[in-house]
């Protein structure tokens, strides 16, 4: 899974919810120009392939390895904070 930006014409962008393995926040959508939109989300490799087949532009915001590393650091910090709270 990786963090991406998706850009394309209105019609295929309206059907993003149909793509398995894609999680995106509708409120992140912004108009680029007349009929083009951009949205951010998390996508699996299969979802990326589907998006490309639909002719949408994909830009990696965070590569999968970096995202995994950031996730590991975040969860380690959360566990440490929870352990500290439990001791208090």
Burial of 16 (0-12, 13-18, 19+ CB in 10 A): buried
pTM of the model: 0.70
Into how many domains does the chain fold? 1
Q: Which domain holds residue 30?
A: 2-62
pLDDT for the residue 64: 61
Q: Is residue 73 part of a domain?
A: no
Q: Is residue 86 part of a domain?
A: no
Q: Is residue 22 part of a domain?
A: yes
54 Cβ partners below 8 Å, 6+ apart?
8, 12, 15
- CATH code at 35? 3.30.70.1710
Q: Is residue 37 part of a domain?
A: yes
pLDDT in tens, the chain (88 residues): 888 999 999 999 999 999 999 999 888 899 999 999 999 999 999 999 999 999 999 999 876 666 667 777 777 888 888 888 888 7
Q: Is residue 70 part of a domain?
A: no
């Amino acid at each position: 899974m990786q963090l991406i930006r998706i850009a394309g014409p209105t019609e295929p962008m309206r059907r993003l919810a149909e793509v398995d393995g894609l999680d995106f926040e509708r409120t992140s959508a912004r108009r680029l120009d007349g009929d083009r939109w951009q949205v951010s989300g998390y996508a699996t490799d299969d979802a990326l392939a589907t998006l490309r087949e639909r002719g949408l532009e994909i830009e990696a915001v965070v590569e999968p390895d970096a995202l995994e590393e950031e996730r590991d650091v975040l969860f380690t910090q959360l566990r440490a904070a929870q352990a500290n709270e439990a001791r208090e």
